[in-house]
Structure 1
Amino acid sequence: MTGKQELKNYLIQEIENHKDELIDLCSQLIKIPSENPPGDSTEITTFIDQYLKNVGAETAWHEATDKMYNLVSTIGENKGGKHLIYCGHSDVVPTGDHTKWDFNPTSGEVVDGWLLGRGASDMKAGLGGIIFTFALLKKLNINLPGQLTLAIVPDEETGGEFGVPWLLERKIIQGDGCLIAEPSSRYNPTLGQKGSYWFKLKVYGEPGHGSLSPLAGNNAIINMINAINEIRKLWELDIDIPEEVMPLIERSKRYMREVEKDREPFQAVLDHVTVNIGKIQGGTKSNMIPESCEVEVDCRLPFGITQEEVTAFLHEKLNSLGIEYELTRFGFRSNANYTSDEEPICKAIVDNITHVTGHEAYGVMQWASSDARHFRNHHIPVLQYGPAYLPSIHGYNEKVKVEDIVRCCKVYIAAVIDYLYEQETM
């Protein structure tokens, strides 16, 4: 072939020619249970490993903790060219009550153009897409001028400690750019995420007989009500959003108005600290004044405020109440983070969404958090783009359109060429 564009179009057509094989791969992934918890990835990693070996790819297993396996494979020539990472997680959230599903959550069936089952959108369709892309490049013996690494991780749905950060900290994977095939909108990959601040607050009181309340004892639940009222004031903070990220925020608000139109009322989450009082437990019985109460809170942080500033705010407000308390962090921890849309990996994905679909594409901000932060912590530009029916993620009757799986896979394979051949003369 004489040019990059010709190679790209050839590979896009190869995806089209073999789309039934792509969908079958995604279906097979759904049929393999990989709920986290418990997080045992043995069966699904074994399947992916054999799939890659069948096309001649070399693989390496890395057990981060008991039965949680990271699988890594690399193709291409290491001759000073760029190194691209395609990443996806193999675990899914629990299926829950099977009686509330309209179909078997591990069926992997295709019905009326939809692929059905737990993980269809988050993210076994995206995972299948990057695996299929990687395997097809290997099978066709495409002479890449750089390297493409496929990283399959086991532990995203419970915080990711034994997945992406585990690999990066040990330098098992390294690269100049990364795509995570997480669910996204059809034309809008995710370039940034809000920060995450989860904490437990335990408030103490003094027990006594319930018949003497409020004159006796010190009711921990009442103290917690007052504490919660102060915690909720995080939402009211006037955040000074840095100028450099304002274009991304404005594009994301446009996205919420014009694409996910049901999200239009929620535009303010992009520049406010959200506060979810997710769990509460306190007291012993109704006729006893409770001596302790505990809540778990999930806050998501916009640009312009740090975890340290949130901690200081909370202590100031709680101290002013004169109550005895303990505040403990747990779970996801990060400040808001993003990748510039001028980075080559971002341009490669966005440009090829338009190339494949003929539709305007642009990157947006995610109001939640993800594994992308770990790559940014290691100075690797990253974005997320994957097939999804967004309303079904983590719910019953999860599904994804077959046409979206095929479209994303075409973007994945075209982006490899644009990214790795960027400075190459063919």
Structure 2
Amino acid sequence: MITETESRLLSFIDRDELIGLTQDLIRIDSVIRPEIGNTEAGVVRFIKEWISRELGVDPLIEEVVPGRENIILTVDSGKPGPCLMFEGHTDVVSEGNRDLWQHDPFGGEIEEGKIYGRGACDMKAGLAVNLLTVKAMMKSKVDFKGKMRLGIVCDEEAFMIGIQDYIRQGHADDVDACLVSEPEENQLCISMKGALRAIVRVKGKMAHGAMPLTGINTSVRLARIILAFDAFEGSEIKRCGKDEFLGWPSITFTVVQTPPPGEPIQLNVMPSESMAYLDIRTTPCQDHEKIRQQLQEILDQLAQDDPDFCAQIEFIADKPVVSMEKDEPIVRAAAGAYKDITGKDPVYNGVPGATDGTFLRDLKGIPSLVNGPGPRHMPHQTDEYVEIDELFESLQIYLLSTLRFLNGTILNGITDANFAR
């Protein structure tokens, strides 16, 4: 049941402002383009100026690596209570071939109740929700306890160096819970898949395409690896089954290159090297160290069967499976807010990939609930979009969740003990 105070808080939502802010963020190209030096810097400048203008305070800007920065802002009520963090990332993936888009990827165009553009749901919409949640809490002057903290970071789409630096700088030390506004259709995602990233390199011997027997063909041997890893994926799916929230484990070859980058492509030359990138997603039944060993054993077996086989696998990223229980205070607060705003029971789910919340949960033990706006299977696709009604719903849910969590008021009038520090 929504109280009079909560109704007053919700009245500070300006739907047009929410739409306009989301469009403004989409229109800033924050694809990482090393060839021209483009980073998230434009979005960081915009958000810094927005916070200074709309909230009347200056956020902390910290450089993680040259040209890539984190934004940190703490709003302290001055009263003992928990610290609730709102997390989001400023980078987006490439738009790819623009000719495949029906809408300008950086236009923020609106059609039939949807806002289109690269990052529309992943996650410029989520950033807008985070920013306007803090604004409404401040401008409405509702009484709350504890602190709100914005953590808007760089580099989520690659190696998540932004959130790791944020943690190293101590900004998560006093955080009691986090809302991660990644696109999940406002479902309450209480677990996240783990991830291993790897590069496979196959060495052979260059030869004339008309005389392949004078060389060693790396493409054939890479194909054997792909088929062998695919078979291993099938055995893991059979062994683990389908997780309630995370589905099946997977091993995906995302990039396959022969010859590798930097070498010229020549039709009549058999290259001496091939390489491939692997995106491995794991569920709770799997152990990352064991997977490393098993994949290496596959390569060892292929080498035993072929004296000319030479391949190495290098693991370049490791993100664990993380989860939490439904009775965590932040989950209960969000569940009640979801029901009061939508009139429906909350839907619990899991994130099919990793998020910055993975590191917050794994390294600091912070309950990190992923429940932002946007279709959960739309990120990284052409004509990415977010539905305006769902975006508006998300902001309402975030506001109620925030007020109830900070003040210790949970679902159906149940009150938790304050998190006084």
- TM-score > 0.5, shorter chain as reference: yes
* Counterpart in the other structure of 1:309: 290
CA shift, 1:238, in A, is: 4.2
What is the CA–CA distance in structure 2 between the aligned matches of 1:43 and 1:210, rounded to whole Å? 48
* Counterpart in the other structure of 2:20: 24
Verify: 1:51 aligned to 2:50, yes or no.
yes
* Counterpart in the other structure of 1:267: none
- Structure 2 residue corresponding to 1:420, chosen from 406, 412, 415: 406
Q: Matches of residues 165-204 of structure 1 in structure 2 within 5 Å?
A: 165-174=164-173, 175-186=175-186, 188-204=187-203
Unaligned ranges ≥5, structure 1: 254-269
How many residues align structurally?
Answer: 395
Verify: 1:281 aligned to 2:266, yes or no.
no
- Structure 2 residue corresponding to 1:348, chosen from 333, 336, 361: 333
Which stretch shows the higher mean deviation, 36-45 or 381-390? 36-45
What is the CA–CA distance in structure 2 between the aligned matches of 1:22 and 1:402, rounded to whole Å? 9
**What is the percentage of aligned positions where both structures have the same residue?**
24
SS of 1:359's partner is coil
- Structure 2 residue corresponding to 1:233, chosen from 212, 231, 234: 231
Contact 1:4 1:417 in 2 (8 A): no
Query: What are the superposed Cα offsets for residues 261-312 of structure 1, whole Å, 9 maximum, x if unpaired?
Result: xxxxxxxxx2333333532324975655553322222221121212211111
Contact 1:56 1:139 in 2 (8 A): no
Contact 1:274 1:299 in 2 (8 A): yes
What amino acid is the match of 1:220? T
What is the CA–CA distance in structure 1 between the aligned matches of 2:50 and 2:205, rounded to whole Å? 62
What is the CA–CA distance in structure 2 between the aligned matches of 1:172 and 1:279, rounded to whole Å? 39
CA shift, 1:80, in A, is: 3.5
* Counterpart in the other structure of 2:249: 272
CA shift, 1:79, in A, is: 4.2
What is the CA–CA distance in structure 2 between the aligned matches of 1:69 and 1:206, rounded to whole Å? 44
SS of 1:309's partner is helix
Verify: 1:368 aligned to 2:332, yes or no.
no
What amino acid is the match of 2:50? Y
* Counterpart in the other structure of 1:336: 321
SS of 2:152's partner is strand
What is the CA–CA distance in structure 1 between the aligned matches of 2:259 and 2:97, rounded to whole Å? 28
Query: What are the superposed Cα offsets for residues 232-276 of structure 1, whole Å, 9 maximum, x if unpaired?
Result: 22213346659xxx9xx33x38xxxxxxxxxxxxxxxx2333333
* Counterpart in the other structure of 1:264: none
Verify: 1:300 aligned to 2:281, yes or no.
yes
Contact 2:89 2:127 in 1 (8 A): yes
**Which runs of structure 1 show a deviation greater than 6 angstroms over 4 or more consecutive aligned residues?**
none
CA shift, 1:410, in A, is: 0.3
Query: What are the superposed Cα offsets for residues 175-220 of structure 1, whole Å, 9 maximum, x if unpaired?
Result: 010011110124x222222211221111223445555555x54333
* Counterpart in the other structure of 1:318: 299
Relative to structure 1, the CA distance from residue 65 to residue 210 in structure 2 (aligned partners, 3 Å threshold; closer, same or farther) is closer
SS of 1:198's partner is strand
Contact 1:91 1:157 in 2 (8 A): yes
Unaligned ranges ≥5, structure 2: 304-308, 409-415
Which stretch shows the higher mean deviation, 372-381 or 75-84? 75-84
Contact 2:87 2:150 in 1 (8 A): yes
What is the CA–CA distance in structure 1 between the aligned matches of 2:207 and 2:253, rounded to whole Å? 31
Which stretch shows the higher mean deviation, 334-343 or 59-68? 334-343
* Counterpart in the other structure of 1:259: none
What is the CA–CA distance in structure 2 between the aligned matches of 1:211 and 1:399, rounded to whole Å? 49
TM-score, scaled relative to structure 2 = 0.85
* Counterpart in the other structure of 2:68: 68
What amino acid is the match of 2:11? Q
Relative to structure 1, the CA distance from residue 120 to residue 308 in structure 2 (aligned partners, 3 Å threshold; closer, same or farther) is same
TM-score, scaled relative to structure 1 = 0.84
CA shift, 1:171, in A, is: 0.6
* Counterpart in the other structure of 2:413: none
What is the CA–CA distance in structure 1 between the aligned matches of 2:63 and 2:20, rounded to whole Å? 27
Query: What are the superposed Cα offsets for residues 374-399 of structure 1, whole Å, 9 maximum, x if unpaired?
Result: 11121111021111144543222222
